[in-house]
Amino acid sequence: VAKSEERNAARLYSPMMQAAARRRLALATELRRALAKDEFRLVYQPSVELRSGRIVAVEALLRWHHPERGEILPGEFIPLAERLGLIRHIDEWVLDAACAQMRRWIDAGLPPLRVAVNVSASWFGHPGFIAGVRERIATWRMPSDRLLLEITEGAILQLGDDLQRTMRALHEMGVGVAIDDFGTGYSSLSYLKLPAIACLKIDQSFVAGLPDSANDAAIVEAMLALSGNLGLYAIAEGIENEAQHAFLLRAGCAEGQGYLYSRPVSVAEVERMLRRRPDPNPFRLHLVPPAG
Ligand code: C2E
Ligand code: MG
Ligand code: MG
Ligand code: MG
């Protein structure tokens, strides 16, 4: 049985695997030209104050609009860009585009927002990183305290000797750093004392199990205590339902992101949501946690 299953599997999956490999190869070629051909776009996912439902920040998330293949998600092309050594240039483009967008929003008189930008280990560890950030801030007259750079524990681990210097430089510029996907890395916690660290983003894998998983609940509560005691703020990621929202609110989490409030959306859609005032709770949430 095992033998024939193997043969079947080979017959069934090998053409699929070949197709996947062909796509990867083609994407690699096309990714090299995507920046020059202006095929990248940013979408923005709102981050809300859990207590009020008010939008306080947005995270810039990258989309590749391929002329033939349509929209491609970062999960597929970011690892490819990393392998090809392109990610650093893409990150720089993203920071530039996000700061430009913030400048337009400020000039248009929209309510003040923080903008979060993901930074790969490769750019974070590059000698030109600090100069690149400083240049974007100057070009777009970006209020630096409204910029949050999201890095992973993996990026911190890779940096070694330059870590202190990089973090001090960001701190002096007034730029905050968030630890993205917090709790999924394999590093020590000592880096949480570094200058510029302002925020922990609780990974969605822990939020997913709330409120029923006792383990996830304990982990999330411990993360919130840790961030509070260190003077950091926490953002919970991947909030998809009201029960998760209620748990996090009650546990003292200040801010959250997730499909419950909004998917990542276009600039026009962000503006529409921001203008939908004076409604303080545009998401129709039950903001008072249910009794019991
Ligand atoms: P991330 O920074 O942790 O971003 C959160 C991801 O979770 C986003 O996926 C977002 O769409 C998704 N998400 C948000 N709310 C929910 C929810 O309620 N449920 C679920 N299931 N998912 C939710 P996206 O946009 O596909 O990005 C995936 C990852 O790609 C990001 O994870 C980030 O690591 C990376 N990435 C995205 N844009 C950039 C970029 O400009 N530069 C770099 N270096 N990496 C980026
Ligand atoms: Mg992120
Ligand atoms: Mg994240
Ligand atoms: Mg994540």
pLDDT for res 24: 85
Q: Please check whether residue 262 is in contact with residue 230, taking contact to mean a CB–CB distance below 8 angstroms.
A: no
Ligand 1 site, CB within 6 A: 45, 61-62, 73-75, 78, 87, 91, 94, 118, 120, 150, 180-181, 204, 237-240, 257-259, 264
pLDDT at residue 96 is higher than 80 = yes
Q: Which of 61, 122, 123, 259 to mutate to test the pocket of ligand 1 (most atoms within 8 A of CB)?
A: 61
Euclidean distance between CA atoms 146 and 17, whole angstroms: 44
Mean pLDDT on 80-84: 94
pLDDT for res 292: 42
pLDDT for res 13: 67
Q: Which residue has the tokens 């996000």?
A: 98
In angstroms, what is the C-alpha Rg of the chain? 21
281 pLDDT band, cuts 50/70/90, is low
pLDDT for res 276: 78
State pLDDT tens for residues 103-161.
Answer: 999 999 998 899 999 999 999 999 999 999 999 999 999 999 999 999 999 999 888 88
pLDDT at residue 26 is higher than 80 = yes
pLDDT for res 287: 58
pLDDT at residue 1 is higher than 60 = no
What stretch of H or E contains 277? none
Mean pLDDT computed over every residue of the chain: 91
Q: Please check whether residue 40 is in contact with residue 74, taking contact to mean a CB–CB distance below 8 angstroms.
A: no
State pLDDT tens for residues 215-274.
Answer: 999 999 999 999 999 999 999 999 999 999 999 999 999 999 999 999 999 999 999 998
DSSP state letters, 54-94: -EEEEEEEEEEEETTTEEE-HHHHHHHHHHTT-HHHHHHHH
Is the previous residue joined to 278 through a cis bond, with omega within 30 degrees of 0? Answer: yes
Euclidean distance between CA atoms 169 and 195, whole angstroms: 9
Side chain identity, residue 248: L
